[in-house]
Amino acid sequence: MTFDLIVNVAWKEEILDPAGQSTTKVLQQMGYAVDNVRIGKQIRLQVEAQDQDRALEAGREMAKRLLANPVMETYTVQVVEA
């Protein structure tokens, strides 16, 4: 069976996010009352697996091995319900 997964990857809190910082600034200049913009990744993919648990399991493994860098990033994995 094919499962749609979403892997969200975010900078660890203590890691500086320059792109987020400059986006914060630009949004403030545009007149928005915003703060703490942090720009992470949202990765969507399709995985073949026997069941949802195994799909999630594969997703977590891929996140850990490739999609996120544990030195600076955290991740969450979820299955998109059809």
Partner 1 sequence: MRVGVISFPGSNCDDDTLNALAALGVEGVPLWYQQTELPPVDRLILPGGFSYGDYLRSGALAAQAPIMASVEQAIATQAMPVLGICNGFQILCERGLLPGALRPNVSGEFLCTWETLRVVSVPQGFVGLKTGDLLRMPIAHHEGAFAVEPGFLSTLFDQGQVFLQYSDPDGQVHALTNPNGSVANIAGISQGSVTGLMPHPERAMAQYLGSVDGRRFLKAWLGEEDQ
Partner 2 sequence: MTYEEVGLTAEEFTHICDQMGRVPNDLELGLFGVLWSEHCSYKSSKNLLAWLPHDGPAVVQGPGENAGVVQLDDKVHVAFKVESHNHPSYVEPVQGAATGVGGILRDIVAMGARPVALADSLRFGTDDPSQHLQHAVVEGVGAYGNAIGIPTVTGEVGYGAVYDKNPLVNVMAVGLLPAQRKISARGARPGSYLLLVGQPTGRDGIHGASLLASQDFGEGTEHMRPTVQVGDPFMGKLLMEATLAAVETGLLDAVQDLGAAGLTSAIAELVYRSQVGAQVWLDDVPCREPHMTPYEIMLSETQERMLLIVAPHHLEAIEAIMNHWELPHRVIGEVTEEPLLVIGTRDNPRQAVLPPEILAGACPLKPVPANGRDKGRQLVPSMPAFKPLTLEREWGLNVLGAPECKSRAPIYQRYDSMILTNTVWGPDHPLAVLRVKDSTAGLAIAVRGPGRYAALDPYSGGMAAVARVISLLATQGAQPLGLTDGINAGNPDREDVFQDLMALLAGIADASQALGVPVTGGNVSLHNETSGHPIWPTAVIGAVGRHSCPLEPVPDAPMAAGMDILWVGP
Residue (of 58, 57, 52) closest to 81 by Cα position: 52
77 part of the interface to partner 2, by CB under 8 A: no
69 part of the interface to a second copy, by CB under 8 A: no
38 part of the interface to a second copy, by CB under 8 A: yes
Contacts of 28 (CB under 8 A, 6+ apart): 34, 35
Look up residue 56 and give its amino acid.
L
Which of these segments, 7-15, 39-47, 52-60, 74-82, binds partner 2 (CB under 8 A)?
7-15
| Number of residues this chain uses to bind partner 1 (CB under 8 A) | 17
Tokens of 9: 């990857």
Full DSSP string of 56-71: HHHHHHHIIIIIS-TT
Residues that bind partner 2 (CB under 8 A): 12, 14-18, 21-22, 69, 71-72
Residues that bind partner 1 (CB under 8 A): 14-16, 18-19, 22-23, 26, 29-30, 39, 65-67, 69, 71-72
